[in-house]
Amino acid sequence: MGGPVAVVLLTLMVGVAAALVWHEQLARARRRLRERRSLPPAAPGGPAIEDVARSLRRLRAEVLAPAPGTTMARRRGTRAAYEDLLVQAAGCLGVPDTLSDVPEGTDREAERLRLEHLLREAGLALD
């Protein structure tokens, strides 16, 4: 009689342990979902998304087609300001970005294009 009782007790203990782990993972998933839904639309005291969008459209035109004779320093500064505004718009709209973490080069260009695409999908008109 000891053998079947031990098997049943062992099965119950494993079941309870699995249920506790599953419950904790489910609670974490619910917490992450709740945090995503409750993201503030804009940083307190920050500019309105309309102002950020207007500045983005203006600077985007300068980044894509700089005026003839524009110095390289001016072009880099304009691009940096544009990228800062992209990051700010992403924060306002709750879009994840990693643009700030990527060093200069092809990877940064690709990340900028990806962020522009995500902002468009979120409803921001860049053109």
DSSP string, 89-123: HHHHHT----GGGSPSSHHHHHHHHHHHHHHHHTT
∠ CA 54-56-60, rounded to 5°: 125
What pLDDT digit, counting tens, does each position of 68-91 carry? 999 999 999 999 999 999 999 998
What pLDDT digit, counting tens, does each position of 10-55 carry? 898 888 888 877 888 877 777 777 766 654 554 556 788 899 999 9
pLDDT value of residue 82: 95
SS3 of 24-40: HHHHHHHHHHHHHHCCC
pLDDT value of residue 97: 84
CA distance linking residue 49 with residue 40, whole number of Å: 12
Report residue 19 as tokens.
Answer: 């249920």
pLDDT value of residue 112: 94
Predicted structure pTM score: 0.63
Half-sphere exposure of 106 (CA within 13 A, CB side): 0
Could you tell me the residue ranges of all domains in the chain? 1-38, 49-121
What pLDDT digit, counting tens, does each position of 88-124 carry? 999 888 898 888 888 888 999 999 999 999 999 999 9
Helix (H, G, I), strand (E, B) or coil at 87: helix
